[in-house]
Structure 1
Amino acid sequence: MIPTPVIVRVLRDPQSVRSLALAEWDLLLRQARSANLLARLADLLLRHDLAGCAPEAAAMHLEGATVVAARHRVAVEWEISRIGQALDSAGLPLLLLKGAAYVAADLPPSHGRTFSDIDILVPKARINEAEAALMMHGWASSHHDAYDQRYYREWMHELPPMQHGKRMTVIDVHHAILPETAASKPDSAKLIASSVAVPGRPGIHVLQPVDMVIHSACHLFHEEELDKGLRDLTDLDALLRHFAGQPDFWPQLAQRAQELDLARPLYYALRYAMRLLHTPVPDAAIRAMAASGPPALLAPLMDALYGRALLPIHASCGDPFTGAARRSLFFRAHWLRMPPMLLVRHLAHKAAMAMKQEPENQP
C-alpha cells in the first residue's frame, strides 16, 4: 500500500498545510510540480487564506507558478478570440472543450491551470471547412508523416494537431470525443446540439454541465498517458462540486452517461474522485452508477491500477508495481481505442519507427 502523498492530503484538506514540516513542504512542491498542479496548489492556498503558511522558499515557487498560470490564461483568451475569428469566417460556431472551455466559462478548474493546447469540437461533415479556415489564419498540420495523417483522418476522432506558424500555439480539432474505431461511440451530434452559449461571450459555446463532466471522465479514463492524471481528476472534482448545486444535475448525469454510452468512465471518475480527493457524491448517484462498474472480479485490479497510476510520477508516490500499473493502463487505453488487428498493426508501426530513429539519435 502506497502512503497517501502529501499533495493528495492537501487537496483533500487544505488546512493540513498548517502542520507541515519544512521537509514536507519541499516534498509537497515536488509532487505538485510533477503532477502539473503547482499553480493550482497556489490558488487553493490563496482561496483558503493559507498562502501565509508557506515557508519563504516555498512561497517563491508558488508565486512563480501563479505568474505562469496567469500568463497561460491571457494566452488562451487570445487564442480563443483568434480561433473564433477563423471559424466565423467559415460560418462555424466555436465549441470549446476541456481547459479552454473552463477558461471561457470561468469555471473553477480554470483557476491555476496551465495549457499545452486548445481543443475544439466541430461537426464531422464540416471538419474540412474548419481545417481550411484555420489554415487561412495561420495554423497548419504538425504531422507530415503519411501514416500519421491516415491514422488521424481515418481512425481517430480529430485532425492531426494544428500549430500556428508564428505563435506556435496548438489546436486539436475534434469531430468526436472518442476515436472512430473505439467500441463506445458517443453521438457528437447530441453533444453539439446540447451545447450552451457562454454568457457575455458572443459566438463561444461549451458543453452543457453534465456533458462537460462526462467528457472529462471519458478523456481521463481512456487516456494512455496518465502523467497529468491527478490534475485531470482535480478538474473533475472541481466540476462536480461546482455543478452539484444545480437542480437535477446528479440524476441527469447518470442518465446522460448511459445515453452517450459512457457510463463506465463516469463510474471510474466518481469512484476515484471520491477515493483520492473525497469528492462529495450523493448516495443516490452512487447507486445509479453501481451497475456501470467493471465485473466484480475485475474491480480490485482496476483499483490497484488506477490507485497507483493517478498519483504523481514521483519517487515518493510509487511502489515496485507502479510502472506495471501505468504500462497496463497504457495498453488498456489502446485496446479501447482500436480493434485487435488494427491495434497490432499500429503498435508494430510505432515500434518500427522507434527502432529506425534510435540509431539517428545516438551520438
Structure 2
Amino acid sequence: MQTPDCAIVRALREPDRLDQFSMAEWDVLIRQGRRANLLARLHWLAQEKNLLASLPAAPRAHLEAARVIADKQATAVAWEVRKIHEAIAPTGAPLILLKGAAYRMAALAAGRGRVFSDVDILVPKQLINHAEAALMLHGWVATQHDAYDQRYYRTWMHEIPPLTHIRRLSVIDVHHAILPETARLHPDPALLLAAAQPVVDQPGVYTLAPADMVLHSASHLFCGEFEHGLRDLSDIDLLLREFGIVAGFWDGLVARAQRLDLARPLYYALHWAVRLFATPIPSPVLREIDACARPSTPAKQLMNALLQRALVPDHVSCHDALSATARILLYTRAHWLRMPPHLLAYHLAHKALFPPRAAEN
C-alpha cells in the first residue's frame, strides 16, 4: 500500500535532512506544516538536530515564529493548570491532565512544539458536577449550547460542555471518560484513574500512565475525526519513542489495550506510526497486536486506503481525487463508532431540523 509522501511527512520522518530541502520544497512544507499545526514541532526537531543555523532564512523565520507562539502557549497553560487545580482541589477531585496539556506539563517530547486550543482534564464521574460548580465559581462558564446540546453532552458523551473563562477566554474540556458512554468501545475510566501518575514538581497534578497515554491518543485519533490526524500520529510516535526505552513498557502495552477494550485503535496506531515515521516498535509487539486486533482483510484494505489520505494535512498539495471522499467516510465512521444507529439517526435528524443559530450580538 502506498505511503503518503507529503513534504511534512518526510520532514517529520527524517528531520536530519531538513537542510537538504530546496526553497520550492520549503514553500510547500511551511504551508503543510501550518495547516497541520506542526511548524513549532519542526522547529524543535531542527533544533534537536543542530540544523537551525543551516536552514534558509525565510523558512527559519516561520519556524521561529511558530516556536514563539508555542512557548507563549506553554506559559499560559502552566498558569491555567494552576488555576484549575486551585478551583477543583476543594472538591477532592484529582486533576488528571490529558493530551497536549499533559505532554507539556510532564515535559515529554510530545509536548515540545505542541500547540492546542484547550486544556483537557479527567475527573471521576461521581465528582464531575462538583468540579463543574467549582470551576464556574472561578470564572469558567458553558457558552453557546442550547438545551439539546446540554442533554447530548450530559447524557451520552464522555464530557460536559466545554467551559470558557469569562476573562481569559481559556477553554477547559472536563471529561469523566475517554470515549462516549454510547461508543462501541468501553475503556473503564476507573482503570485509568487508578493508574494515573503525579507530575514532577506539580503537587496535585497528574497524567495518565505511559501506556494509557498512548492508548488515549490512539483512541482519540482512530475512533474520532482526523482534523489534526498527522499531529496526533506524530504525538503517538514521540510517546512510543520516549516510553519505549523504559523497561517493561512494551511487555505490557498490548495487554493493557485489551483490558481497556482499545486493542483495535492501538493496532492502527502502531502500524501507521511505523509506516509514516518508522517508529522503532519491536516485532514481537506488532505480532502480538496483529494476533488480537487485526481487522479482516477487506476492512484493513479499506481503512488503509482512507487513512493514507486522512493522515496528512488537509492541504491541496496532499490531496488526490479521493481525499475528500475519504475524509467524509472517516467522519461518518467516527459518528458510527460513537453512537448506536437509532441514537445517531435521532441526533442527525435533530441537527438537520434545528441547525445551531449564530450567537446574537
Give the TM-score band, short-chain normalised: over 0.9
1:243 corresponds to 2:248:
no
Q: Which amino acid in 2 is paired with 1:212?
A: M
Question: What is the rounded CA distance, in whole Å, between the counterparts of 1:3 and 1:188 in structure 2?
Answer: 35
Aligned to 2:344: 343
Aligned to 1:55: 56
**Residue 3 and residue 180 in structure 1: after superposition, are their counterparts in 2 closer, same or farther (change >3 A)?**
closer
RMSD: 1.5
Question: What is the rounded CA distance, in whole Å, between the counterparts of 2:277 and 2:40 in structure 1?
Answer: 18
Q: Which amino acid in 2 is paired with 1:231?
A: R
- Tell me by how many angstroms 1:353 deviates: 3.2
Contact 2:41 2:112 in 1 (8 A): yes
Q: Tell me, what secondary structure is at the counterpart of 1:106?
A: coil
Which stretch of structure 1 is more off in the superposition, 263-272 or 15-24? 15-24
- Tell me by how many angstroms 1:357 deviates: 5.1
- Tell me by how many angstroms 1:352 deviates: 2.5
Question: What is the rounded CA distance, in whole Å, between the counterparts of 2:280 and 2:340 in structure 1?
Answer: 36
Q: Percent identity?
A: 54
Aligned to 2:132: 131
State the TM-score, normalized to the length of structure 2: 0.96
Moved over 6 A (4+): none
Q: Which amino acid in 1 is paired with 2:48?
A: R
Deviation sequence 1:181-235 (CA, Å, 0-9, x none): 01111110110011011122110111111111101101111112x1211000010
- Tell me by how many angstroms 1:349 deviates: 1.7
Q: Which amino acid in 1 is paired with 2:270?
A: L
Contact 2:142 2:162 in 1 (8 A): yes
Q: Which amino acid in 1 is paired with 2:232?
A: D
Q: Which amino acid in 2 is paired with 1:334?
A: H
Aligned to 2:254: 254
Contact 1:143 1:160 in 2 (8 A): no
Map 1:60-139 → 2, pairs under 5 A:
60-139=61-140
- Tell me by how many angstroms 1:345 deviates: 1.1
Contact 1:69 1:113 in 2 (8 A): yes
Q: Give the gaps of 5 or more residues in structure 1.
A: none
Aligned to 1:284: 284
Question: What is the rounded CA distance, in whole Å, between the counterparts of 2:6 and 2:102 in structure 1?
Answer: 30
Aligned to 1:213: 214
Q: Which amino acid in 2 is paired with 1:109?
A: A
Aligned residue pairs total 358
Question: What is the rounded CA distance, in whole Å, between the counterparts of 1:305 and 1:53 in structure 2?
Answer: 37
- Tell me by how many angstroms 1:280 deviates: 1.0
Q: Give the gaps of 5 or more residues in structure 2.
A: none
Q: Which amino acid in 1 is paired with 2:127?
A: R
Aligned to 1:275: 275
Aligned to 1:264: 264
- Tell me by how many angstroms 1:303 deviates: 0.5
Question: What is the rounded CA distance, in whole Å, between the counterparts of 1:37 and 1:52 in structure 2?
Answer: 19
Question: What is the rounded CA distance, in whole Å, between the counterparts of 1:269 and 1:279 in structure 2?
Answer: 11
Contact 1:143 1:161 in 2 (8 A): no
Aligned to 2:334: 333
Which stretch of structure 1 is more off in the superposition, 332-341 or 11-20? 11-20
